[in-house]
Chain A
């Protein structure tokens, strides 16, 4: 994600208690999240899923809970990725328990879920494997959240994690292998 000085300033201003910043924050974050949400749920065949619903959910989790202290854009993106993972996992659990949201939302989420699961298999199994992975390799978990759940590109991940692109490439391969290994071990 390109550093945008304005948005960076915004985070500073919020931390410093600037009242106007809140409105601007929503605008900036909303667009940002839409971009992210639009990307994560895209199938390689060009199938797209524009997850407005997901954006709103992420927004609620990240900002309505009172937590506003994001150091910078990178920090924010990392939190958003985690939130997206959480939302999807929660939805999947709710779906299993037959507790479903409203109609239009449900369709959207079902599509989202399926698009994720096309690439990962059962999300709940993936979540459990991620939890196990976190114990030994928290950096791999973070990368998977960013890349898989938040759909960040290699360079965006590099920026969010503060490492060079080549490292991300290597780490991504390792993360994939570890996670797959974890998933298979569970089977």
Chain B
């Protein structure tokens, strides 16, 4: 510091800086005297004192990661999201590696982390960050993901707020037409990614800008499924922690500490908040504390977007408002519907009208006051509500009924009407016909009736289903009627989004689910019909339900375990067993195609009764189980058959294992193992069969014939029937597992023909086998004696070679092995065979 003037400037600057801002000017005027240049120089320096984090180093220090985690060489830390993410390299593969240090992680955190891997690995979508691999060492668990060259959306949002022109941005300037197009594109891509996750049964539950990555092309990629709820892994997620980031939480998420009442629409809310933020550069609900934010969210009604940003396109504001509707019924029925609206914006079309919006306040009212309306049939209750409960929506009773009929008669085709609308109309016409009405009103009713008759004559099933005696009768009769209505099968045209949004959640007492029956090979033959049977989750017994023509369409049933059979000439051609849960998920059934040829011979069994002992390792049943006629494969599905299926369908399998099998011709006729439940089920459905139920398997094993109870006496000298809970997937190297498999299994056909009377002899000893019967878990802690249905677990039957060396199971003829948690669980001692219902 040689220049004396510079020294003076700095010294005065330092002293001025120590003063409170309002005293600085006086200080400088006094010190600089007449030297205005000096004063200005110092004033400029004072003005330059940064208020932001210019050059400031951050304060936090984190524990360093090692150079190597498992197979990955760590090249640096990228650090997005809830866990450290590093740049990692294996050979010439460079990935983003999400890392969890096991030593410091709680059990919950570890489970979440693994769930993230499992959830994301199942999803393949151009806008979901692909998970390539996952694994763990003794110290770390890791997930290898595609490396995205870009930034998260939170950073880009922050950059828009800052005036930092030198920092490269990935998005156009806020407020420009390009900005709104980019916003719509980002949300459209995110919505379609969410749609893919939801279809896969996964709700993200933590959608926020930090979890939306933007690449250099401006494409968005959804990541971080760490708090996702996988509907296939129900038990893991009920941990009760408040998952999700505050500002992006839906009202129901903010309310529910246990997270049990959430569904996919919570993600739509969160994406709505992101859209809101993109349109206003601020989150809709602010608060000084977490509680304040949560309270604001639960109180609802954010400031309208266009008040905050009058330039925001009305269409985008409308899309945001619908996504962020307080009642989730008012939101988009699916992420796909939201994506569709955003696409419409991008091509300059208005959003699709929400045709259910008119009715939903009424329907909510009906649901809330269900008891009051329970004396009436379901549809009547809805119609009642229309004038009894919400006059503001449908004016007075008679007028509103007439208006409804007029509206219903207006369109040329009824295809576009929702079934609820039609139901309301039918009830309204009924009521009007019995009331004193004017001639004009009578004409409307007559017009509607004419129209209805025409549709009936044209054989419209949907309309026929609507017509039923609605006259108020005895309470019992009405209850029966309500129950019938609830279980009634409604067939509608596919892809009716409005209907889908309305029906599953709004129909009075019927929480309904739907199944889409669809085929690539055109419509199914008219000779085919669809039989729907409810399957008892405890016993596997079936209760036949509706039988309808097997037309392509959407069908609604209540949640539960259902079997859908495509029947031709009295015999099932294809069978599908599905656990349907709320909210509505789409399940496809191929009603048209022919199943692949299956060379495995089957053995038929008549109906019979199976007495289960009280101390059985599954849910105890006092009553004997009725087993309906069925046939079962004579032997397990072999590697040869299974690989044929894999080659034909591209079904995902454990490549490493099956590569070893393919390499050894001797093993091709051994039973296929390392097959997940989902893969086994897919194989069975491919050949037009299904997996056997657990009771069916026992019947086949014991040679149960008509009226002959299952011979439990053969279970072993000590009377033990073992139950294995959990997995025993060995931590063996593949080669070792293969040696064990080679040594202990035998070809599937060995001895399979030498069945004793009534049943195949060799169900035991080779491999344990999947059944389609879901597992129940006893609660052994507080509520002893209660049982929980493990929705994604299935009973495994039979004794496999790996356990035959364990004395406890050595003599047991059969036991139930309860598979652990997931559909994907498999091991090298577990195979499967198929079964089929008989008429």
Q: Which residues of A contact B (CB under 8 A)?
A: 34-35, 38-40, 42-53, 103-105, 107-108, 111-112, 114, 117-122, 125, 136-138, 144, 147-148, 151-153, 170, 173-174, 176-181, 184
Interface string of B38-80 (1 = CB under 8 A from A): 0000001110111001111111111011010000001111111
Contacts of B6 in A (CB 8 A): 136-137
Contacts of A34 in B (CB 8 A): 64
B50:A50 contact, CB within 8 angstroms? no
A53 to B167, CA, bound (A): 23
Contacts of A170 in B (CB 8 A): 14, 17-18
Contacts of A104 in B (CB 8 A): 75, 87, 89, 94
A166 to B80, CA, bound (A): 34
B37 at the A interface (CB under 8 A): no
State whether A50 and B74 are in contact (beta carbons under 8 Å apart), knowing that A39-B61, A119-B53, A147-B55 are contacts in the complex: yes
State whether A174 and B94 are in contact (beta carbons under 8 Å apart), knowing that A38-B77, A48-B77 are contacts in the complex: no
Contacts of B48 in A (CB 8 A): 176-178, 180-181, 184
State whether A180 and B50 are in contact (beta carbons under 8 Å apart), knowing that A103-B94, A117-B167 are contacts in the complex: yes
The residues in B between 672 and 722 inclusive whose CB is less than 8 angstroms from any CB of A are none
Contacts of A107 in B (CB 8 A): 75-76, 87, 94, 147, 149
Interface string of B4-21 (1 = CB under 8 A from A): 001000100110011000
State whether A173 and B49 are in contact (beta carbons under 8 Å apart), knowing that A47-B79, A49-B79 are contacts in the complex: yes
B166 at the A interface (CB under 8 A): yes
B2 to A, closest residue via Cβ: A136
Contacts of B49 in A (CB 8 A): 173, 176-177, 180
A138 to B, closest residue via Cβ: B1
A7 to B48, CA, bound (A): 40
Since A108-B76, A119-B53, A147-B56 are in contact, a sample of 12 more A-B pairs with Cβ atoms closer than 8 Å, ordered by chain A residue number, is A39-B57, A39-B61, A43-B58, A44-B59, A47-B80, A48-B62, A104-B89, A108-B87, A120-B55, A121-B167, A153-B57, A170-B17
A118 to B, closest residue via Cβ: B167
B75:A114 contact, CB within 8 angstroms? no
A44 to B79, CA, bound (A): 11
Say which residue of B1, B59, B62 sits within 8 Å of A136 (CB atoms). Answer: B1
Contacts of A48 in B (CB 8 A): 62, 77-79, 84
B164 to A, closest residue via Cβ: A121
Q: What is the predominant secondary structure among interface residues of chain A facing chain B?
A: helix
Residue contacts A-B, CB under 8 angstroms, 20 given: A42-B57, A42-B60, A44-B59, A46-B79, A48-B77, A49-B76, A49-B79, A52-B74, A52-B75, A52-B76, A108-B75, A108-B76, A111-B78, A120-B54, A136-B10, A170-B14, A173-B49, A176-B54, A178-B45, A180-B48
Contacts of B56 in A (CB 8 A): 44, 119, 147
B62:A44 contact, CB within 8 angstroms? no
Contacts of A122 in B (CB 8 A): 166
Contacts of A42 in B (CB 8 A): 57-58, 60, 62, 79
B76:A44 contact, CB within 8 angstroms? no
Contacts of B62 in A (CB 8 A): 38, 42, 48
Q: How far is the CB of B698 from chain A (nearest CB, A)?
A: 56
Q: Which residues of B contact A (CB under 8 A)?
A: 1, 3, 6, 10, 13-14, 17-18, 44-46, 48-50, 53-62, 64-65, 67, 74-80, 84, 86-87, 89, 94, 147, 149, 154, 164, 166-168
Q: How far is the CB of B46 from chain A (nearest CB, A)?
A: 7
A44 to B60, CA, bound (A): 8
Contacts of A103 in B (CB 8 A): 94
Contacts of A44 in B (CB 8 A): 53, 56, 58-59
B166:A117 contact, CB within 8 angstroms? yes
Contacts of A120 in B (CB 8 A): 54-55
Q: How far is the CB of A99 from chain B (nearest CB, A)?
A: 19
Q: How far is the CB of A114 from chain B (nearest CB, A)?
A: 7
B44:A119 contact, CB within 8 angstroms? no
A136 to B41, CA, bound (A): 15
A11 to B264, CA, bound (A): 61
A176:B55 contact, CB within 8 angstroms? yes
User: Which 9 pairs, one residue from A and one from B, show the smallest C-beta to C-beta distance?
Assistant: A50-B77, A48-B79, A121-B166, A180-B48, A181-B48, A108-B76, A177-B48, A47-B79, A151-B57
Say which residue of B1, B10, B53 sits within 8 Å of A174 (CB atoms). Answer: B10
Contacts of A118 in B (CB 8 A): 164, 167
A53:B13 contact, CB within 8 angstroms? no
A171 to B79, CA, bound (A): 31
State whether A148 and B55 are in contact (beta carbons under 8 Å apart), knowing that A49-B78, A177-B13 are contacts in the complex: yes
A45 to B80, CA, bound (A): 9
A107 to B164, CA, bound (A): 22
Q: How far is the CB of B786 from chain A (nearest CB, A)?
A: 43
Contacts of A46 in B (CB 8 A): 60, 79
A119 to B75, CA, bound (A): 23
Say which residue of A39, A50, A136, A178 sits within 8 Å of B3 (CB atoms). Answer: A136
B76:A137 contact, CB within 8 angstroms? no
A119:B54 contact, CB within 8 angstroms? yes
Contacts of B168 in A (CB 8 A): 114
Contacts of A52 in B (CB 8 A): 67, 74-76
Q: How far is the CB of A115 from chain B (nearest CB, A)?
A: 10
Q: How far is the CB of B57 from chain A (nearest CB, A)?
A: 4
Q: How far is the CB of A30 from chain B (nearest CB, A)?
A: 10
A121 to B, closest residue via Cβ: B166
Q: How far is the CB of B702 from chain A (nearest CB, A)?
A: 61
Q: Which of A38, A151, A184 has the most CB of B within 10 A?
A: A38
A174:B167 contact, CB within 8 angstroms? no
Contacts of B166 in A (CB 8 A): 117, 121-122, 125
State whether A50 and B86 are in contact (beta carbons under 8 Å apart), knowing that A173-B49, A178-B45 are contacts in the complex: yes
A144 to B, closest residue via Cβ: B55
State whether A35 and B64 are in contact (beta carbons under 8 Å apart), knowing that A48-B84, A121-B164, A121-B166 are contacts in the complex: yes
A104 to B48, CA, bound (A): 38
Contacts of A180 in B (CB 8 A): 48-50, 54
Contacts of B58 in A (CB 8 A): 39, 42-44, 151
